[in-house]
Amino acid sequence: MLAEEGYANTSLRKVATRAGYTTGAVTYYFANKDELITALAESRFDSFDAMLEGSHDDTDVKALFGRWLARTDDPEFWPVMIQLLAHARYEPAFAAVIERRYARFRELYTSILAAGQAHGTVRDDIPADLLADQLSAIGDGWMMMFPIEPDRFTPSRLRALVDAAVTLISPPRRAPRERGS
Amino acid sequence: MLAEEGYANTSLRKVATRAGYTTGAVTYYFANKDELITALAESRFDSFDAMLEGSHDDTDVKALFGRWLARTDDPEFWPVMIQLLAHARYEPAFAAVIERRYARFRELYTSILAAGQAHGTVRDDIPADLLADQLSAIGDGWMMMFPIEPDRFTPSRLRALVDAAVTLISPPRRAPRERGS
Amino acid sequence: MLAEEGYANTSLRKVATRAGYTTGAVTYYFANKDELITALAESRFDSFDAMLEGSHDDTDVKALFGRWLARTDDPEFWPVMIQLLAHARYEPAFAAVIERRYARFRELYTSILAAGQAHGTVRDDIPADLLADQLSAIGDGWMMMFPIEPDRFTPSRLRALVDAAVTLISPPRRAPRERGS
Amino acid sequence: MLAEEGYANTSLRKVATRAGYTTGAVTYYFANKDELITALAESRFDSFDAMLEGSHDDTDVKALFGRWLARTDDPEFWPVMIQLLAHARYEPAFAAVIERRYARFRELYTSILAAGQAHGTVRDDIPADLLADQLSAIGDGWMMMFPIEPDRFTPSRLRALVDAAVTLISPPRRAPRERGS
DNA sequence: GATGAATGAGCTTTCATTCAT
DNA sequence: AATGAATGAAAGCTCATTCAT
């Protein structure tokens, strides 16, 4: 519902009906709308965690991005996240959940990138935590535009974007060009 | 109101009251809520355009980012944009406005970056349009997290992020490890 | 509605329907249920004030009681007051209205009784303010039982109660009885 | 709950939670809300009866009033009674309980006052049953105002009110103004 | 004896919208 | 240009009640 109708148009009533229950049944399990939304957010982050778990001892940044992009398989995943993130600011308890979860992601990214720097597969002229922030921002930026312009995100364009991102964080190649020589 | 209360909590009533008018006055100027929100979006993009106008014949990418970040002076700017963008998907007429405006930005970015590549100030191993997409995504990603975790965006952190972004798109310096060999 | 159904069973919906309007029309005039109830209370006290106005420079306590009892003409008056008073405790703003209004009544009673004492028509072995409190309590006590046992309050019984109350506050008659002599 | 929140805000859910049970447990013992509230009323009247039992062969009206006022020790007693009485009208089965119980009280009062009249401790120019009604009304009147203006009912004011009530129903002393003649 | 799931109706309140004035 | 009255729908939520377990 969040993905299809947006937060503002998502009502307990509609959620209940869609689930084949009455409104009362929903409020029986979730004290209020906040709790319902927060539960949804936690569940989404859980599934996201599970995805990352696989790449835990991985230093392959490209594979990581690939998994992130694989989310576009489910055309609802990103739109849902956008609705949740956009609303977070106005539900402090909910914002706390997001802060906590996001912090974990950035830590993970940072450690992966730091490992990459140690192995020489990631450029080391920028601190790992800054690189993690940039990659995280790139992912969020894509996520934000995807619901608005899904057509721009063709598989080939996505591949090109991933390749470009990987190039950005790779160490400079040996002899880039005979510039000025 | 959008920034302070979020889209879901913004009503014509509240907007009218805050403006010192009655609800009827609002509906006199805007046929319906969509029109009001779309007008707001256009106005925001206009002010954004005006900002970019200054850097039109500019090839200094860092200055461009700086202007983008200068928006954090107005703590409402980014939150408003997030609310608008998050809602765009569910208001097709409104999404069209955003698509059109965003396309212009990316074109501008692309031309600036292409100019930079021609001058050798921007790396040319990635096509300018892909770089523009990445920079745009980075900006959007920051914008999205800012309303949720404003405290993370200290001036010094922002400066570090800008510097890192500039480093990412700069031409690779002579590979450091070649130096001593 | 208050009289017929009681506070707990009085809904804005029902009030609106009974008035031939929609719920929205009610909430247009009264921001919320409290305000509606408070407005009703004020109006009731106003009509009560008007009643007392007539006896302002009156020292005839019996006439005063008579007017109070005349309220039983409108079989709704007392039940409404009971509902309002019973609910007052749980609506502080509303309780304030009642406190203020009741204080005025007691002052008026006190001044009337004091005048009666000066004229020798009211016993003076009890301070006027205490007498006023007692009379006020008697009136409230009747009011409270009336809605529950209306049948007990026949016109003749009411007359007897008024006469008894007047006797209670009258000065002892000269030679009550040859008791003990 | 009745005392603290008022009848309109008292739900089976809240009662159950406060008792440490589920709603189902409440409906297991009480077929419906009416039955629960009626059971509460009976229990309250029982405890009130027990109080009166002690003064059964008592002719000391002052002591009787004293016991009535002692109820203010429990700041919930009167508010609960008010909620019950105010609601009685709208629950016929419940009103019947109150009628029956109140009738008993008045009978008791009447017999006590009649005994007092026989002993010369109570004025006999007003029939005992009317006096009983007045005293009952006074008690109810206090009870009604207590929850709204508890601060007015200081111990010393209560004592003064009791003394005044006793004076009201006492046999007239020799008329003071006759004294010196 | 008590729970937990669920219903269905109803509540107060808010809202976008309409329209006569 | 703007108000004020009113609608009608929907919102989030609460509630008494039922009933299988």
Distance CA B6, CA D83 (A): 42
Residues 22-81 of D with CB under 7 A from strand F: 23-24, 27, 31-34
181 residues of chain A, pLDDT tens digit each: 999 999 999 999 999 999 999 999 999 999 999 999 999 999 988 888 887 776 555 567 777 777 777 777 788 888 999 999 999 999 888 888 888 988 988 898 898 899 889 988 899 999 999 999 999 999 999 999 988 888 888 889 988 999 999 999 999 865 444 444 4
CB–CB of C87 and D141 under 8 A?
Answer: no
Fold of A32-169: Tetracycline Repressor; domain 2 (1.10.357)
Facing D141 at nearest CB: one of C86, C137, C177: C137
Facing A6 at nearest CB: one of B90, B131, B175: B90
3-state SS, residue D120 = coil
In chain A, what residues touch B6 (CB-CB under 8 Å)? Answer: 86-87, 89-90
Per-residue pLDDT tens over the stretch D62-119: 777 777 777 777 888 889 999 999 999 998 878 888 888 889 888 988 988 999 899 8
Work out the angle at residue A31's Cα, subtended by the Cα atoms of residues A28 and A32, and round it to the nearest 5 degrees. Answer: 115
Q: Is the pLDDT of residue C180 over 50?
A: no
| Best A89, A131, A151, A174 residue to mutate vs chain B (most B CBs within 10 Å) | A89
Q: Is the pLDDT of residue D177 over 60?
A: no
Domain ranges of chain D: 33-173
Fold of D33-173: Tetracycline Repressor; domain 2 (1.10.357)
Q: Is the pLDDT of residue D19 over 80?
A: yes
Residue from D166, D158, D104 nearest D134 by CA: D166
| Full-model pTM | 0.84
Structure tokens at D61: 């009206």
Q: Is the pLDDT of residue D173 over 80?
A: no
Report yes or no: D60 at the C interface, CB cutoff 8 Å: no
Closest chain A residue to B133 measured between Cα atoms?
Answer: A161
% chain A with pLDDT above 90 = 50
User: What per-residue confidence (pLDDT) applies to A59?
Assistant: 60
Fold of C33-169: Tetracycline Repressor; domain 2 (1.10.357)
Q: Is the pLDDT of residue B180 over 60?
A: no
User: What per-residue confidence (pLDDT) applies to D56?
Assistant: 53
Closest chain D residue to C8 measured between Cα atoms?
Answer: D8
Distance CA A4, CA A13 (A): 15
Across the range B177-181, mean pLDDT stands at 44
Q: Is the pLDDT of residue C177 over 70?
A: no
Per-residue pLDDT tens over the stretch B79-118: 999 999 999 998 887 888 888 888 988 898 898 899 989 9
Distance CA D158, CA D165 (A): 10
A111 burial (CB, 10 Å; 0-12 / 13-18 / 19+) is: middle
CB–CB of B5 and A144 under 8 A?
Answer: no
Q: Is the pLDDT of residue C40 over 90?
A: yes
Work out the angle at residue B97's Cα, subtended by the Cα atoms of residues B93 and B98, and round it to the nearest 5 degrees. Answer: 115
CB–CB of C141 and D139 under 8 A?
Answer: yes
Across the range B153-169, mean pLDDT stands at 90
- Contact present, A165 and B130 (Cβ < 8 Å): no
C168 CA to F14 C1', in Å?
50
CB–CB of A168 and B86 under 8 A?
Answer: no
